[in-house]
Amino acid sequence: MLLLRLRLIVLYLCFSIVNSHAEDGRKLWLRYIKVSDQQALNRTIKTTSNHPVAQQAKQELDNYWKSTNLQLTINRKATNLKDGFRIQQNKNGLELIAQHAVGLLYGAYHLLNEQELGRDFSSYQIEEIPSFDIRILNHWDNLDRTVERGYAGYSLWKWEELPIQISPRYEEYARANASIGINATVLNNVNASPQILSSEYLNKVKVLADIFRKYGIKVYLSVNFSSPKVIGGLKDSDPLNKDVQHWWKHKIKEVYQLIPDFGGFLVKANSEGQPGPQDYGRTHADGANMLADEMKPYGGMIMWRAFVYNPTKEDRAKQAYQEFVPLDNQFRDNVIVQIKNGPVDFQPREPFTSLFGAMKNTAQMIEFQITQEYLGFSNHLVYLAPLFKETLDSDTYADGVGSTVAKITDGTLRKVQKSAIAGVANIGEDRNWTGHHFGQANWYAFGRLAWNHQLSSEEIADEWLRLTFSKEKEFVHTMSKLMIDSRETVVNYMMPMGLHHIFAFDHHYGPEPWGDRPSGRADWMPWYYHNANVNGIGFNRTISGSNAVGQYNEPLRTIYNNIDSCPENLLLWFHHVSWNHKMKSQRTLWDELCFYYDQGVQEVREFQRTWDQMEKYVDAERFNAVQSKLKIQSKDAVWWKDACLLYFQTFSRQPIPYSIERPI
């Protein structure tokens, strides 16, 4: 009997140890330690607001705030603060002031993070105001719980259990988002099932919205433009058909009855086979405005995507601009055009989409991809803040020097009703949420940049590492550098110098520059993008080619058009370049290509060595998980190098230099 008990105890202990380790990834960057009774006695936390969000802020602070009295104040007159907050000293301790309850919540997480990071509060004073009004995640989650381009398991939303059974992860998810300032989420895939608008699903959505509300998060839905026909039984979904308008009016009313603070709709229309207003000879503006008018009384938004392209003779990179610029001035003020950061599709490196800034009287928002569709899925360690910042900081010159993408979209250069920024989520049901432990950093970085796009990639990496892993200087310093380097590394071993879209067909994981399917669309074939032949490689988008350069403002047009001034990291994006072209390094283009691919491989190997040295700072579970992923990444990098060089060599007909590692 005693033996049995002992065994049970040992089993239980083993289970708890395994479990507590497994908890590590699940906690994300939220690792605050509960206050002791003594610490609680030594400080007071007060607020006069009964708002549930303010109460949530107080609750977090009650649990984790260690020193100094805190006063949480809502000051309706502090209009400059919007969703932000101010923290200052008053005679009894610190005062956290916000115009709205949600500002108190952001302030609370700010204080807890600062406490974690070891900040001194003796003369603390800070004001934080978010860069964008709507900071939104886009989930590409299907109703059957698969996730399009998701690499962290099934969807978090357990539709088959809702609205009755509620997973604790819904609240954990909301809390994690609120802690980095994310205030909105689109629950379902832009390739939207019409079913999401059925009453059955709306009742499930309501439950999630109710949970998220306490964290200041609004729910949005992707809608299928054919919903009136498919689930409403109408003869068509023509936006100018009165019955169709009526159907949407009623549907939207139903949504708001269930979810009074519902955010709005995201629409992918007439893109990659999705239905849209053009099916009825109408424009994107006709479609968007019809929905916007029905949303208006409730304050809802329409986010209308500009990711459109067709297999025509026209360069894919030019098509969004061509379709949308003529529609400028035609959209309602509660419509915002959602534009991907690059003109093709979330490649390791692209120039910014030329549409940014080109529509002078239409609100525009940027869409980034946090999930790594084209960046090694959740197997590769690629820190995305440098990629996000590269686009946000790009100068479009649309309203003169300094018209960065950030300023075009955040409302500083042009007044908009609401500014917004979107990130396609990398979150799934995996215990660590994102598949790769370092994928969490990209969720975090998106939130932080949405809150403040002026933060540097280094600052964000530094914070995230200290909150998530360890505060040891050597660890933080070393890993922050590795993270910053990792974006350029992936460019090097996948697609250096402006190469793009040479991925394996459909799944987009490995290389397939030779890919060709006679039955397939030309613009889905890698050759369309790399154009390699005996003369050279690259896409001629200059004036003598597709003239995509013509969509950029001066001086960019001239800079990109000229082979000598075009930045070398975008050379093959804009030019078809001869194999013997002399690069700035004095190497030929061919040798340079070999050099970059090899460099990428060597860098990942270095990442492996670096991580191995970090073992003493990291718990075994996360250490091993990251170590294994780096092995995959290292192998994949060699695969990319060998595949691309051996294939392109059939055109360049030149030897691979002996100075680099030979293909296996």
Q: Which residues are catalytic?
A: 272, 345, 373
Write out the E strands in 229-388.
Answer: 264-267, 301-305, 335-340, 364-369
Interacting residues of 647 by C-beta distance below 8 A, sequence separation 6+: 513, 514, 532
Q: In what order do the strands lie in the sheet with 85-90?
A: 45-47, 69-74, 93-98, 85-90, 126-128
> Which is nearer to ligand GCW, 180 or 221 (by Cβ)?
221
> Which is nearer to ligand GCW, 272 or 612 (by Cβ)?
272
Tell which positions 293-312 bind ligand GCW, by CB under 6 A: 307
> Which is nearer to ligand GCW, 53 or 306 (by Cβ)?
306
Round to whole Å and give the CA distance between 374 and 631: 19
Q: Which of 29, 85, 109, 140 binds ligand GCW (CB under 6 A)?
A: 140
Contact 551, 354 (CB under 8 A): yes
Interacting residues of 236 by C-beta distance below 8 A, sequence separation 6+: 228, 229, 244, 280
Residue 345 interacting with ligand GCW (CB under 6 A): yes
Contact 284, 292 (CB under 8 A): no
User: Side chain identity at 638, as an amino acid letter?
Assistant: V
Minimum Å distance from CB 221 to ligand GCW?
15
Q: Are strands 85-90 and 126-128 parallel, antiparallel or unpaired?
A: antiparallel
Q: Is 288 exposed, middle or buried (0-12, 13-18, 19+ CB in 10 A)?
A: buried
> Which is nearer to ligand GCW, 95 or 373 (by Cβ)?
373
> Which is nearer to ligand GCW, 83 or 373 (by Cβ)?
373
Round to whole Å and give the CA distance between 627 and 608: 7
Minimum Å distance from CB 507 to ligand GCW?
9
Residue 377 interacting with ligand GCW (CB under 6 A): no
Residues contacting ligand GCW: total by CB under 6 A: 11
User: Side chain identity at 267, as an amino acid letter?
Assistant: V
566: left (phi over 0), alpha (psi -120 to 50) or beta: beta
User: Side chain identity at 476, as an amino acid letter?
Assistant: V
Q: Are strands 93-98 and 85-90 parallel, antiparallel or unpaired?
A: antiparallel
* Residue 54: alpha-carbon gap to chain centroid: 28
Helices of type H across 410-516: 439-451, 457-468, 473-494
Contact 239, 286 (CB under 8 A): yes
| Nearest residue (beta carbon) to ligand GCW | 345
Interacting residues of 561 by C-beta distance below 8 A, sequence separation 6+: 542, 543, 549, 574
Structure tokens at 164: 């009755």
* Residue 595: alpha-carbon gap to chain centroid: 30
> Which is nearer to ligand GCW, 191 or 602 (by Cβ)?
191
Helices of type H across 180-315: 199-213, 227-230, 242-258, 284-295
In 10 A of CB 517, how many CB atoms? 11
DSSP 11: H
Minimum Å distance from CB 149 to ligand GCW?
5
> Which is nearer to ligand GCW, 148 or 429 (by Cβ)?
148
> Which is nearer to ligand GCW, 149 or 466 (by Cβ)?
149
Classified as helix, coil or strand, 625 is: helix
> Which is nearer to ligand GCW, 35 or 502 (by Cβ)?
502
Buried b (16+ CB within 10 A) or exposed e, 224-233: bbbbbbbbbe
Minimum Å distance from CB 615 to ligand GCW?
37
Minimum Å distance from CB 151 to ligand GCW?
12
Structure tokens at 261: 């603070």
Minimum Å distance from CB 340 to ligand GCW?
7
> Which is nearer to ligand GCW, 247 or 309 (by Cβ)?
309
> Which is nearer to ligand GCW, 86 or 149 (by Cβ)?
149
Minimum Å distance from CB 561 to ligand GCW?
28
Q: Which of 58, 100, 110, 149 binds ligand GCW (CB under 6 A)?
A: 149
* Residue 521: alpha-carbon gap to chain centroid: 28
Interacting residues of 621 by C-beta distance below 8 A, sequence separation 6+: 21, 22, 24, 25
**Nearest to 470, CA basis, from 260, 623, 649, 578:** 623
Tell which positions 248-277 bind ligand GCW, by CB under 6 A: 268, 272
Round to whole Å and give the CA distance between 607 and 436: 15
Minimum Å distance from CB 303 to ligand GCW?
13
Q: Per-residue x/- marks for ligand GCW, 385-424, CB under 6 A?
A: ----------------------------------------
Q: Which of 346, 443, 451, 560 binds ligand GCW (CB under 6 A)?
A: 346
Contact 290, 247 (CB under 8 A): no
Minimum Å distance from CB 433 to ligand GCW?
20
Tell which positions 184-243 bind ligand GCW, by CB under 6 A: 190-191
DSSP 118: T
Round to whole Å and give the CA distance between 649 and 202: 55
Minimum Å distance from CB 156 to ligand GCW?
17
Minimum Å distance from CB 416 to ligand GCW?
23
> Which is nearer to ligand GCW, 173 or 307 (by Cβ)?
307
Contact 306, 324 (CB under 8 A): yes
Minimum Å distance from CB 619 to ligand GCW?
35
Q: Which of 148, 172, 399, 458 binds ligand GCW (CB under 6 A)?
A: 148
Interaction site with ligand GCW (CB under 6 A): 140, 148-149, 190-191, 268, 272, 307, 345-346, 373
